[in-house]
Structure 1
Amino acid sequence: MTALSNETDFPVDRAVQDAQRVMAQRRAGCPVGHVHAGASHGEGWLVTRYDDVMSLMTDPRVKRDRRNVPEQDTGEGHESLLYLDPPDHTRIRRLVNKTFTPRAVEHLRPKIEQLADELLDRMAEQGEVDLISAYALPIPMLVICELLGVPEDDRADFTAWSEAINGTQDDPAVKREAYAYLEKLVADKRTRPGDDLLSALAVAASEEGGALSETELLHNAELLLVAGHDTTVFLIANTVLALLGAPEQLAEVRAEPGLLPAAIEEVLRYDSPVNISSQRWTTEPVTLSGVTVPVGQPLLVSVMSANRDPARFDDPDRFDTHRDQSARHLGFGHGIHYCPGAPLARMETHTAVGKLIERFPDLRLAVSPDALTMRDSLLMHGPTTLPVRLS
């Protein structure tokens, strides 16, 4: 394969619509290289091999908060878990972790099961549906509303607001309305806390390591909305898509539902909902695959590419629900930024996919797989729509 060299070798549009192929080319020909990655990621050093990606996730020379990078310090930062380093990250993560306990996750299961059954009943009345809008989207949206403590009366508008914040709704007026609503929600949790994660963060006592500022609360509410919502939508969709593309394995999972958790783990590796994660920054020169990235440079790590690295996984382009899980995937990250909502995302996906394939044994794609278009994002990876026939 011809060696790749610079940003001209990185076609952003193809990296969205044909992500696996483009990342495979980068991984083989230019595993570490400077690219222009479009509006969502800007310029940076794209890193595509598993060992390099894994090492960057725990390298103390690599930071998430630009304020900790002298060459990049603008005095401003995004004060959510995703963009913080210790000790601020440790302080907020400790509070968030108290919400994502096994007991707390199980507390949400009955509501998720009830919603899934209601959605499936509605779908059963139709011969063909878009599985994302009809099913994969409403389930994570319910969970986010529960976590943020969104009042029942506001939930009908919340989908549009969430789309404005995560970038899929490009209406400035709606975006302003969305942020205004989040600001009001945060203020309400300060004065009238409820039994939800945002309230717990809002009333955090000083003995927990310091109360959160208004900016921290707002930014972490935004993070929960985007990271906790989009990733699960695409994990559900990508799991269904992978199983429909492997009929024999789908039949095995239907016959033995206990295989579904392993299938979900394989999807997290085979077709990760995250492609290129949020930027990290070098505070010292870092050498990866023989390439030295200078100090003060943004790093763009491709989780998707790492999860298909043949140096780590045997026959990585094959979807295999019986794959040995000891060669762990990076679908939820690694190190201190490992996704705190991973148990919840797994449970949502298990419930949604399990009920779907049980209810509709003749479920199949309504279009050719080649006709599917991917979300216009280098961060998230999944189809914009997923037309399926139910019988």
Structure 2
Amino acid sequence: MHVLDVDGADIQGEGKRLRDSGSAVPVELPGGVRAWAVPHLATLKALLLDPRISKDPELHWAAWRAGEIAADWPLRIWVSVRNMFTAYGRDHQRLRSLVAAGFTARRTAELRPWLERLTDGLLDELTPGSDLRAEYAYRLPVEVICQLFGVAEDRRDDLRRVVDSVFDTTRSPAEAAASAEDMYRIFTELAADKRSRPGDDLTTAIIQASSDRYPALTDAEVVDTLILLLTAGHETTVNLIDQAITALLTHPAQLAAVLAGGRSWADVVEETLRWQAPVPYLPLRYAVEDIDLGDVVIPRGDAILAAYAAAGRDPAAFGPTADEFDLARDIKQHVSFGHGVHHCLGAPLARMEATIALEALFTRFPGLTLAVPQEELRPMRSFLSNGHRELPVLLG
């Protein structure tokens, strides 16, 4: 039994140990909760496509159904919400189709000019000794979320506060419960405001979404969907931008190839997603029936943990150089935005944010360097969030 490090001090080392242990590995999550981590790319992709794998704990997680998961379990909000993230089968189809109706390609594309202006404004505010995580990688996605949701300026500090709490896996049960309560209050108030005063925003679109096949979302489903879009749309993009900047600053030849036009900013984004998955592990999925993987059987009703970071460095998929950041890599496949029916709806927006942010940053500051040695960068204290606590730089 591998006890996962809740501090996330060595995510890639832990991922290698999991890969070396089998196609699915028994692990212990915070609170003593047990699951099977799946660290190999081919096996993980197959499971993410397998209809025998569910995301609904009410239907398919034996420990949850038996009341064995404590009410104050720190990761409870990851499985207790009722939205497309925790739905299965036809229920998932219903929820995803209604949300997708509001999360259109047109809405994403229309954000580009505003996003470019926002990026330029954030760059204007940087000082010579900036912390790029706090002042750039963090601020950009949270402002995008606020703009998308139609959050008023005087309520954005509340939203920023709860963002920080969701991925902190070192919180006590009491702190986790207080954070969840705060989050539900904020989004319940936002949804109520948009019902009374609709706007041209994603919150209103989700509230009003319906179709010939499906009725509108319930009030509870609207709130839980907003929570999903916040957690999926913010931290992932923050860490993607953070890790991409770090990768380029610590691989000057790769950066030079991009600046010379030999490689694209899209190449940087995809290789970063593979090399440093922004969300190393994603809770949880469940075996609808016994799943035989050859070397091990995952019993019906057991929980499954997608080990995205480990899969991203799988030598079976990416060869002996899997641990290297290489923009010339032929194989760009990864599962950092999920795979199959639960593939992230916001992936095009995250990619657009990151490519705009990176190109603007290195165009403005081509002499950018780290302000400390790479080994002094401190990882986030979380096994669900793969970024740095600070990213101090010299603008050059």
Q: TM-score, normalised by structure 2?
A: 0.89
Aligned pairs, number: 379
* Alignment partner of 1:92 is 2:98: no
Structure 1 partner of 2:324: 318
* Equivalent pair of 2:165/2:179 in contact (CA under 8 Å): yes
Match of 1:3 in 2: none
CA distance in 1, matches of 2:95, 2:24: 32
**Which is worse superposed, 22-31 or 45-54?**
22-31
Match of 1:18 among 10, 33, 41: 10
Q: Which moved more, 1:349-358 or 1:381-390?
A: 381-390
- Flag structure 1 segments of 5+ consecutive residues without an equivalent: 1-5
Change (3 A) 1:173 1:334: closer
Work out the CA distance in 2 between the residues paired with 1:299 and 1:174: 25
Q: Secondary structure at the match of 1:277?
A: strand
The counterpart of 1:273, out of the listed 259, 278, 282, is: 278
Aligned match of 2:40: 49
The answer to whether the 8 A contact 1:165-1:178 is kept is: no
Cα distance in 2 for partners of 1:140, 1:342 equals: 13
Letter in 1 for 2:303: P
Counterpart AA for 1:73:
R
Moved more, 360-369 or 174-183: 174-183
Match runs of 1:196-211 below 5 Å = 196-205=201-210, 207=212, 209-211=214-216
Q: Secondary structure at the match of 1:296?
A: coil
Alignment of 1:116-135 (within 5 A): 116-123=119-126, 126-135=127-136
Superposition map of 1:374-385 within 5 A: 374-385=379-390
SS in 2 for 1:281: strand
Distance apart, 1:191 and its partner CA: 2.5
Cα shift at 1:46: 1.3
- Note the 1:52-63 alignment, pairs <5 A: 52-63=43-54
Counterpart CA distance in 2 for 1:183 and 1:249 is 46
Q: Does 1:151 align with 2:157?
A: no
Partner of residue 266, structure 2: 261
CA distance in 2, matches of 1:209, 1:275: 34
Instruction: Give distance in 2, aligned partners of 1:177 and 1:255.
Output: 47
Q: Please, what is the CA RMSD of the aligned residues?
A: 2.2
Tell me which amino acid in the other structure corresponds to 2:14: V
Residue aligning to 2:374: 369
Q: Distance in 2 between matches of 1:372 and 1:42?
A: 31
Residue of structure 2 equivalent to 1:105: 108
Partner of 1:295: 300
**2:334 maps to 1:329:** yes
Who is 1:66 aligned against? 57
**Which residue of structure 1 lines up, in the alignment, with residue 363 of structure 2?**
358
Deviation at 1:201, TM superposition (A): 1.3
SS in 2 for 1:295: coil
Q: Are 1:132 and 1:233, in contact at CA under 8 Å, matched by a contact in 2?
A: yes
- Please give the alpha-carbon distance, in whole angstroms, between the structure 2 residues aligned to 1:364 and 1:37: 37
2:351 equivalent in structure 1 = 346
2:50 counterpart SS class: coil
Ranges in structure 2 where 5+ consecutive residues have no aligned partner: 68-78
Contact 1:63 1:281 survives alignment (8 Å): yes
Matched with 1:32 is 24
Alpha carbons 2:159, 2:186 under 8 Å: kept: no
Distance 1:305 1:56 in 2: 15
